[in-house]
């Protein structure tokens, strides 16, 4: 998604330059004219770039009315030769070409002013003396000036509206007043409606525009889920998942707690080397089959597996999206994650398995296993692989996708590319009905929920809610390393349980980077591990805390098994707290 956005910005800027140059080339006979190129970057107080900010040029204290050309950024408006303000790209950069006579360029008082909803507009920022840089390709004398600006946030109407929407949909989901997908859908609709109605007349009501909403959605996550759902849906036609259910029961010897522990261990390992979402897509159908045969609720197995997937995904660079973001930003390697985070993950996973025995012990005792050998024979007869052709071709495709997952960093490729290619390939080679797969096996309510939740959280990010939390953390941490570690980890965990951990992690990256440079002892990188552990472990607390949670619960609901939001919290919150205590103790040891 970021690569696509950057490409669009680059193409837009190049188009603006070419169109602008072509327009001015028609009038190059006037050698008394010159070009002033103004460029720079707009950032917030943490040094993070600000996109979609409007940069307006002033001359002698008044808006410049002459011929001007602005390279528009992502979400910009207007054509390449208009007189409106420039719009910064997603990386905060802008570039403006002003056409005037040389004397006016060198002797006049030039300034720029930057504005954006939810930020305080700057005063007129004067340009330093433009420097002549020669003659451009059209024979016009060229002058250059650069100015970078910092915008300060303020908590205006948009801030409180976005906060109200975020809290509102969380209340709707928590008390199950409406389906979670409808709640997120409603929240996204309200945000966009307010922006494009009230925000049309008063910019203080602008929360998130439609163009910004499209950029707020992490399409890498959406397409990854869609591709893997297709692969799992096709593989299911071979009967391999039912066969796996039989083998799992056979291996456990009919001991239900042992079976649960084995499933948790398999889930954790697979989540570390694939990712937790893909793992739960593969194992959820198997788990449901096992539970139905044993005559107990599937959630006695599914909830522990979800916890294990989030713990296991924490151990590696590719196991959970926040880790990918942290590794890329901080320059941490796959081995860095494995060496540093595996110890607390192993301890937390062991604690979780013991907790599962206590929490679900009575459910396991209710399992109908009067004669284990007879049950194994029954399962062997009932659950057989029915289509070896699909199994062979689909297994090869899945193996190729997994290999691309592991190597995606080498190719600078988003993991969704591998999943989409794998989904298309398995449909082609298996010759199954694509319409049937799309209708039956794609968990559309979950995908729509993610899209709408990304938009709602995007509104929270755009209006500064997440940045406000990050700034609060920065002030509280001061120069105390221990306090900084604990605050970053626990705050990340709490907020990751409420909103998606991806945008929160993105907001925290520059904050953690700044603290890592300024707090004595933080140069070891311990704050990055605090962020990773908090964001990943915190996903266990609620249904919406992690992508794996939402997908698993969605598949279970589609199969006729539903768990309430509060019931999930009853199991997830205690083990989340235990995991965070273990992680806190571990981080104190490595300081």
Residue 52 has pLDDT above 70, yes or no: yes
Is-contact 39 96, C-beta < 8 A?
Answer: yes
Q: How many structural domains comprise the chain? A: 1
Residue 84: band (very low, low, confident or very high) from pLDDT cuts 50, 70, 90: low
Q: Which residue has the higher pLDDT, 573 or 21?
A: 573
**Mean pLDDT across 418-430:** 94
We report the CATH number of the domain holding residue 148 as 2.60.40.1120
Of 75-79, 98-102, 357-361, highest mean pLDDT: 357-361
**Mean pLDDT across 175-204:** 93
Per-position b or e across 285-305, b if 16+ CB within 10 A of its CB? bbbbbbbebbebbbbbbbbbb
Q: What is the pLDDT of residues 577-586, one digit of tens each?
A: 999 999 999 9
Tokens coding 580 = 């965070």
Of the listed ranges 2-16, 63-77, 299-313, the least confidently predicted one is 2-16
Q: Which residue has the higher pLDDT, 165 or 408?
A: 165
Helix axes 444-462, 219-236, angle to 10 degrees: 170
Note the pLDDT of residue 16: 46
Phi, psi of 300 (to 5 degrees): -65, -25
Note the pLDDT of residue 3: 40
Note the pLDDT of residue 530: 96
Q: Is 402 exposed, middle or buried (0-12, 13-18, 19+ CB in 10 A)?
A: middle
Of 321-330, 436-445, 482-491, highest mean pLDDT: 482-491
CA atoms of 216 and 379, how far apart (whole Å): 47
**Mean pLDDT across 294-298:** 90
Write down the mean pLDDT value for the chain. 85
Give the 3-state DSSP-derived string for 262-283, with helices as H, strands as E and coil as C: HHHHHHHHHHHHCCHHHHHHHH
Note the pLDDT of residue 278: 82
Note the pLDDT of residue 580: 96
Domain annotation covers residue 485: no
Domain annotation covers residue 492: no
User: From the centroid of its chain, how far is CA 61?
Assistant: 43
**Mean pLDDT across 267-283:** 86
Q: Which residue has the higher pLDDT, 229 or 372?
A: 229
Name beta bridge partners: 120.
152
- String of DSSP letters for 58-76: EETTEE--SEEEEE--TT-
Note the pLDDT of residue 277: 84
Note the pLDDT of residue 484: 92
Q: What is the pLDDT of residues 466-495, one digit of tens each?
A: 888 877 877 888 779 999 999 999 999 998
Residue 9: band (very low, low, confident or very high) from pLDDT cuts 50, 70, 90: very low
Note the pLDDT of residue 589: 94
Note the pLDDT of residue 196: 96
The proportion of the chain whose per-residue pLDDT surpasses 70, expressed as a percent, equals: 92
Note the pLDDT of residue 317: 83
Note the pLDDT of residue 403: 87
Domain annotation covers residue 496: no
CA atoms of 512 and 515, how far apart (whole Å): 5
Residue 300 has pLDDT above 90, yes or no: yes
Residue 10 has pLDDT above 70, yes or no: no
Residue 238 has pLDDT above 50, yes or no: yes
Of the listed ranges 256-260, 377-381, 503-507, the least confidently predicted one is 503-507
Is-contact 402 282, C-beta < 8 A?
Answer: no
Note the pLDDT of residue 151: 92
Residue 27: band (very low, low, confident or very high) from pLDDT cuts 50, 70, 90: very low
Residue 73 has pLDDT above 70, yes or no: no
Cα separations in angstroms, 273 against 198, 236, 314, 316: 47, 22, 10, 7
Note the pLDDT of residue 31: 52
**Mean pLDDT across 78-88:** 62
Domain annotation covers residue 578: no
The proportion of the chain whose per-residue pLDDT surpasses 90, expressed as a percent, equals: 39
Note the pLDDT of residue 547: 83
Q: Which residue has the higher pLDDT, 460 or 421?
A: 421
Residue 21: band (very low, low, confident or very high) from pLDDT cuts 50, 70, 90: very low
Helix axes 276-294, 240-252, angle to 10 degrees: 70
Residue 367 has pLDDT above 90, yes or no: no
Identify the H or E element spanning 125.
Answer: strand 125-126
> By residue range, what is the domain housing residue 46?
2-21+31-153
Q: Which residue has the higher pLDDT, 318 or 145?
A: 145
Residue 503: band (very low, low, confident or very high) from pLDDT cuts 50, 70, 90: low
- String of DSSP letters for 268-333: HHHHHHS-HHHHHHHHHHHHHHHHHHHTS-THHHHHHHHHHHHHHHTTSTTSSHHHHHHHHHHT--
Residue 2 has pLDDT above 60, yes or no: no
Note the pLDDT of residue 489: 95
Residue 85 has pLDDT above 60, yes or no: yes
Domain annotation covers residue 481: no
Q: Which residue has the higher pLDDT, 91 or 506?
A: 91
Neighbours of 494 (CB within 10 A): 15
> What's the CA angle centered on 182, arms 181 and 187, to 5 degrees?
100
Residue 123 has pLDDT above 70, yes or no: yes
Residue 7: band (very low, low, confident or very high) from pLDDT cuts 50, 70, 90: very low
CA atoms of 544 and 531, how far apart (whole Å): 19
Residue 382 has pLDDT above 90, yes or no: no
């Amino acid at each position: 998604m970021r690569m696509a956005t950057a490409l669009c910005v680059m193409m837009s800027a190049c188009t603006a330059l070419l169109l602008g140059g072509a327009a001015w080339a028609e009038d190059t006979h006037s050698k008394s004219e010159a070009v002033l190129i103004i460029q720079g970057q707009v950032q917030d107080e943490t040094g993070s770039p600000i996109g979609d900010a409007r940069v307006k040029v002033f001359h002698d204290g008044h808006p410049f009315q002459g011929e001007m050309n602005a390279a528009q950024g992502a979400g910009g408006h207007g054509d390449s030769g208009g007189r409106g303000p420039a719009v910064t790209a997603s990386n905060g950069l802008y570039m403006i070409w002003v056409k005037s006579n040389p004397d006016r360029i060198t002797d006049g008082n030039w300034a720029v002013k930057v504005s954006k909803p939810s930020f305080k507009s700057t005063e007129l920022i004067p340009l330093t003396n433009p420097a002549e840089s020669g003659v451009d390709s059209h024979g016009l004398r060229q002058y250059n000036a650069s100015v970078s600006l910092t915008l300060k946030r303020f908590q205006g109407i948009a801030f409180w509206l976005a906060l109200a929407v975020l809290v509102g949909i969380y209340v709707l989901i928590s008390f199950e007043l409406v389906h979670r997908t409808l709640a997120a859908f409603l929240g996204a609709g309200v945000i966009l409606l307010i922006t494009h109605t009230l925000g049309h007349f008063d910019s203080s009501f602008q929360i998130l525009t439609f163009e910004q909403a499209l950029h707020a959605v992490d399409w890498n996550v959406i397409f990854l889920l869609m591709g893997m759902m297709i692969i799992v849906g096709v593989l299911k036609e071979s009967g391999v998942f039912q066969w796996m259910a039989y083998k799992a029961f056979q291996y456990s010897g009919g001991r239900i707690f042992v079976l649960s522990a084995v499933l948790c261990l398999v889930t954790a390992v697979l989540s570390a080397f694939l990712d937790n979402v893909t793992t739960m897509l593969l194992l959820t159908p198997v788990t449901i089959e096992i539970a139905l045969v044993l005559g107990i609720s599937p959630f006695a197995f599914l909830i522990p597996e979800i916890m294990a997937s989030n713990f296991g995904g924490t151990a590696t660079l590719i196991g959970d999206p926040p880790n990918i973001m942290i590794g890329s930003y901080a320059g941490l390697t796959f081995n860095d994650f494995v060496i540093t985070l595996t110890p607390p993950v192993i301890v937390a996973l062991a604690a979780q398995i013991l907790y599962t025995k206590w929490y679900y012990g009575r459910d396991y005792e209710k399992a109908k296993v009067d004669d284990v050998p007879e049950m194994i024979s029954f399962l062997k007869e009932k659950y057989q692989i029915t289509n070896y052709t699909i199994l062979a071709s689909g297994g090869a495709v899945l193996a190729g996708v997994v290999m691309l997952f592991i190597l995606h960093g080498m190719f600078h490729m988003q993991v969704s590319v591998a999943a989409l290619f794998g989904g298309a390939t398995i449909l082609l080679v298996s010759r199954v009905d694509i319409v049937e797969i799309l209708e039956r096996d794609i968990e559309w309510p979950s995908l729509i929920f993610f899209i709408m939740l990304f938009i709602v959280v995007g509104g929270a990010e755009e209006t500064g809610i997440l940045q406000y939390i990050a700034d609060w953390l920065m002030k509280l941490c001061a120069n105390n390393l221990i306090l900084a570690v604990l605050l970053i980890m626990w705050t990340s965990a709490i907020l990751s349980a409420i909103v998606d951990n991806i945008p929160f992690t993105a907001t925290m990256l520059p904050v953690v980077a700044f603290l890592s440079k300024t707090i004595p002892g933080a140069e070891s990188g311990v704050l990055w591990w605090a962020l990773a552990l908090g964001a990943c472990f915190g996903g266990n607390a609620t249904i919406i805390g992690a992508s794996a949670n939402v997908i698993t619960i969605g598949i279970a609901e589609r199969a006729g098994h539903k768990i309430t939001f509060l019931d999930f919290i009853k199991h997830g919150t205690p083990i989340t707290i235990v995991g965070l205590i273990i992680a806190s103790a571990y981080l104190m040891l490595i300081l």
